[in-house]
Amino acid sequence: MNDERLREAYERGLPVGNDAPTLDDVQAERLRLLVEREGSEGERLRTLDMMLSTAEGRRELDIAWAAARAARPHRRSWQGFAVAASLVLVCGTSVVWMARRQHARDVDVLRGVESPITLVAPVGLVAAPRATHFAWRPIARAERYQLVVVDTTGAELYAIETRDTALALPDSVRLAPGRTYLWWVQATLADHSTVTAVTQRLVVAPR
Amino acid sequence: MVHRALALLAEPRRAVVRMHLAGYERSEIAELLGWSEPKTRNLLYRGLADLRRILASWGIGPGPSPARGGSNHE
């Protein structure tokens, strides 16, 4: 059986559950240790085995790994970010969709994976100090950007317009450890049309 | 059957073979696990050989493939 056939058989046998993240706090911490290469090798191998045993686990791994790479300042891989963007959990819940609609003021809005705005960080499981620092890649003809952060109920935590492509949340906005948040960026272009990034998911690492 | 066979592999080999079958490059496997490329290559080679041996013992042979074995690693 060659590699291709092995891969096909492997993919066919991969359990697929629902799209909701299923990691508990302990698993999330193990995942963080894996992607940040901390802890014992045996523990990291067991975590890897667990993550790759389901399609959802693999997606969680990809997101967390992309975030860990982003946190290494001299080893950034933009290709990794692109892969992460394509693997990002697009929160299709109606709550999030409705939250986004409240911010969509123009009809000329791009959504989905075609969006040219790449959200860089924070993505996936992120340690608390880094969770409040947002960054995205600039796009041509953008005059300003709107950053929106919501929780999983769709409640808006923070929204601000800026000409920069990176900013930190003010101290008044607190992200709770172990909680999941969603964020996106909407760019307003010179012709007043808007372009919206794919929603990113951020999980603040438990203490 | 592949997943059942995977469960029988030794831990380091299982991890590297899982990542390989999931489509990760060897360099990515080495990066995530903090291993050297030669170590990763060696474990992958041996892990795939183990996997094929287990599958063969269950009567799951190479089947029709363009080349003998058809593997990138053999």
- The tens digit of pLDDT for each residue in B21-63 reads 988 888 889 999 999 999 999 999 999 999 998 888 877 776 5
Out of B3, B11, B71, whose CB is closest to A13?
Answer: B3
Q: Which of A36, A67, A86 is the last residue of a domain?
A: A86
Q: Please, which residues have CB within 8 angstroms of residue B64's CB and are 6 or more apart in sequence?
A: none
Least confident of A96-110, A176-190, B14-28: A96-110
Residues in A closer than 8 angstroms to B48, CB to CB, are: 3, 6
Please indicate, yes or no, whether residues A112 and A195 belong to a single structural domain of this protein.
yes
Please indicate, yes or no, whether residues A105 and A191 belong to a single structural domain of this protein.
yes
Inter-chain touch B60–A13, beta carbons under 8 Å = no
Please indicate, yes or no, whether residues A98 and A166 belong to a single structural domain of this protein.
yes
Please indicate, yes or no, whether residues A8 and A106 belong to a single structural domain of this protein.
no
Indicate if the pLDDT at residue A144 is higher than 90. yes
Summarize the confidence of residues A172-198 as an average pLDDT: 86
Inter-chain touch B52–A1, beta carbons under 8 Å = yes
Q: How many CA atoms lie within 13 A of A110 on its CB side?
A: 15
Dihedral angle sign, alpha carbons of residues A142, A89, A38, A169: positive
Please indicate, yes or no, whether residues A82 and A103 belong to a single structural domain of this protein.
no
Q: How many domains would you assign to chain A?
A: 2
Q: H or E element: which one contains A56?
A: helix A55-70
Please indicate, yes or no, whether residues A200 and A132 belong to a single structural domain of this protein.
yes
Please indicate, yes or no, whether residues A173 and A116 belong to a single structural domain of this protein.
yes
In the block, tokens 């790994």 appear at: A65
Q: Report residue A102's pLDDT band, with 50, 70 and 90 as the boundaries.
A: low
Residues in A closer than 8 angstroms to B2, CB to CB, are: 6, 9-10, 13
**In chain B, whose CA is at the least distance from the CA of A7?**
B21
Q: Using only C-alpha atoms, what is the Rg of chain A?
A: 18
Inter-chain touch B21–A41, beta carbons under 8 Å = no
Best of B2, B13, B28, B33 to mutate (most A CBs within 10 Å, chain A): B2
Dihedral angle sign, alpha carbons of residues A135, A137, A138, A139: negative
Please indicate, yes or no, whether residues A103 and A195 belong to a single structural domain of this protein.
yes
Class for domain B2-57, per CATH? mainly alpha
Which three-class secondary structure state does DSSP give residue A38? coil
Out of B14, B22, B72, whose CB is closest to A3?
Answer: B72
- Rounded distance, CA A50 to CA A43, Å? 11
Q: Report residue A200's pLDDT band, with 50, 70 and 90 as the boundaries.
A: confident
Inter-chain touch B33–A48, beta carbons under 8 Å = yes
- A99 or B15, which is more confident: B15
Which three-class secondary structure state does DSSP give residue A30? helix
Structural domain of residue A164, as residue ranges?
A: 94-204
Please indicate, yes or no, whether residues A69 and A111 belong to a single structural domain of this protein.
no
**Residue A100: what pLDDT?**
53
Cβ–Cβ < 8 Å for A15, A55: yes
Inter-chain touch A37–B34, beta carbons under 8 Å = yes
Residue B8 carries which side chain, given as an amino acid letter? Answer: L
- Strand pairing report for A200-204 and A124-126: parallel
Q: Report residue A153's pLDDT band, with 50, 70 and 90 as the boundaries.
A: low
Hey, what are B54's tokens? 């287990």
Neighbours of A175 (CB within 10 A): 21
Indicate if the pLDDT at residue A174 is higher than 80. yes
- A13 or B9, which is more confident: B9
**Residue A147: what pLDDT?**
93
**Residue B51: what pLDDT?**
92
Q: Report residue B70's pLDDT band, with 50, 70 and 90 as the boundaries.
A: very low
- Rounded distance, CA A69 to CA A73, Å? 8
Domain ranges for chain B, please list them: 2-57
Q: What is the CATH number of the domain that holds A126?
A: 2.60.40.10
**Residue A110: what pLDDT?**
35
Please indicate, yes or no, whether residues A105 and A182 belong to a single structural domain of this protein.
yes
**Residue A92: what pLDDT?**
40
- Strand pairing report for A119-121 and A142-151: unpaired
Please indicate, yes or no, whether residues A135 and A75 belong to a single structural domain of this protein.
no
Please indicate, yes or no, whether residues A113 and A34 belong to a single structural domain of this protein.
no
Q: Please, which residues have CB within 8 angstroms of residue B48's CB and are 6 or more apart in sequence?
A: A3, A6, B17, B20, B71, B73, B74
Backbone φ and ψ for B43, nearest 5 degrees, come out as -65, -35
ipTM of this complex: 0.78
Q: For all residues of chain A together, what is the average pLDDT?
A: 74
Q: A193 to chain B, minimum CA–CA distance in Å?
A: 38
Which three-class secondary structure state does DSSP give residue A93? coil
Residues in A closer than 8 angstroms to B52, CB to CB, are: 1
The pTM of the full predicted model, rounded to 2 decimals, is: 0.49
Inter-chain touch A41–B33, beta carbons under 8 Å = yes
- The 3-state secondary structure of A132-173, one letter per residue: CEEEECCCCCEEEEEEEEEECCCCEEEEEEECCCEEECCCCC
- Rounded distance, CA B25 to CA A73, Å? 22
